[in-house]
Amino acid sequence: MSVDIVAINGEFFLPQDAKISVFDRGFLFGDAVYEVTRSYGHVLFQLERHVDRLFRSAQAIDLDLKMTPRQVIEELYRIHKKVGKADRYVRWQVTRGEGEIGMSMHLAKSANWIVYVKDIDTINPEINKTGTAIVTSQRLRNPKQALDPNIKSGNYLNNVLAFKDATQSKATEAVMVDGKGFCTEGTTSNIFRVKNGVLQTPPHKSDILVGITRTLIFEIANKNKMPIEETYFTPQELEDSDEAFLSGSVREITPVSKVNGKTISIGPIVSKLRDLYAIGIKDYCEKAKTDHPWK
């Protein structure tokens, strides 16, 4: 197992010894929220934004985290420091806790915090040069009215099933659609395309998680006067893109070389964005050294 350590409610366990109750509502109902970021060296990238999103997710499902954002940041650094290794994947999941089986959220006594630290296995440097193959899946991303994808919850079963479509086609990601047939997002990523020199991604009001990397891409594009817009596009239009890429905190910006078997070139806009994103990481990490006294 590539996991270094698991912390449950602040206590450290080896992966094989990390256990939670079968009465935990995260296990029973997906009644949980989570976040994932990665470290560069010993700096947890964009941690404040991830913690902020965790609190928004928790608030949306009426989950009391019983900690302040500042305490969460300090705790995550404490755990990362304990592992003592650079460049880690860090996932923190908060379930509503254990209780009698039933729909009422009040059956749970108190939240369980589980933090996983492991090595990063999803970035293959070759993929950044050669691009990756993706497919579009007919599976719907959750409509907002059912479960807003902005609530980063423990309910990822439709994503798991969409990912099966990718695996069956020897692709690495599947982009799900909404009820009208427009592209939404990947199972653990946002999707962008380039058409006629303009960066395009589905609107924030569509059935997507507004990814932190997606937001950073908007900031970078605007700062560097790269045309960017939110717009709906179909799987067919995605196939007809000039360039395309996936974004996510761990995968960063991954060029797409094929959509549903159709070749897409890895062009200058994705390459430029990747370079600017790398500068953004460096700047953030430099700044974090002075701005994060708790490190």
Ligand X SMILES: Cc1ncc(COP(=O)(O)O)c(C=O)c1O
- Provide the annotated active-site residues: 152
User: Cβ closer to ligand X: 99 or 211?
Assistant: 211
Nearer CB in complex with ligand X: 132/189: 189
**What is each CA distance from 111 to 12, 36, 97, 133, in whole angstroms?**
17, 18, 4, 39
Please, which residue, 189 or 254, has the CB nearer to ligand X? 189
- Give the span between the Cα atoms of 295 and 288, in whole angstroms: 9
**111 binds ligand X per the rule CB under 6 A:** no
- Nearest residue (CB) to ligand X, 97 versus 132: 132
How many Cβ atoms are within 10 Å of 262's Cβ, its own excluded? 13
List CB contacts of 258: < 8 A, sequence separation 6 or more.
131, 132, 133, 134, 171, 264
Decide if residue 212 touches ligand X (CB under 6 A).
yes
Q: Is 161 in the site for ligand X (CB under 6 A)?
A: no
Among residues 47, 63, 175, 209, the one that binds ligand X under rule CB under 6 A: 209
By beta-carbon proximity to ligand X, the closer residue of 97 and 184 is 184
Compose the 167-206 pattern: x for residues touching ligand X by CB under 6 A, - for all others. ------------------x--xxx----------------
Is 241 a residue that touches ligand X (CB under 6 A)? Answer: no
Q: How far is the CB of 245 from ligand X (least distance, A)?
A: 12
Token pair belonging to 184: 């939404």
Both tokens of 27, joined, read 């296990």
**Which of 218, 215, 191, 197 minimizes the C-alpha distance to 268?**
197
Cα angle 151, 64, 47 (rounded to 5 degrees) comes to 60
Q: How far is the CB of 19 from ligand X (least distance, A)?
A: 25
- Is there a contact between 273 and 227 (Cβ–Cβ < 8 Å)? no
Task: Print burial letters for 264-285: b (CB count within 10 Å at least 16), e (below 16).
Answer: bebbebbeebbebbeebbeebb
> Which residues 242-271 are close enough to bind ligand X by CB under 6 A?
247-249
Which parts of 35-54 interact with ligand X (CB under 6 A)? 36
Indicate whether 137 belongs to the interface with ligand X (CB under 6 A).
no
Residue with the CB atom nearest ligand X in the bound state: 211
How many residues bind to ligand X according to rule CB under 6 A? 13
Quote the least distance from Cβ 184 to ligand X, whole Å.
9
Spatial separation of the C-alpha atoms in residues 109 and 99, rounded to whole Å: 6
Contact set with ligand X (CB under 6 A):
36, 185, 188-190, 209, 211-214, 247-249
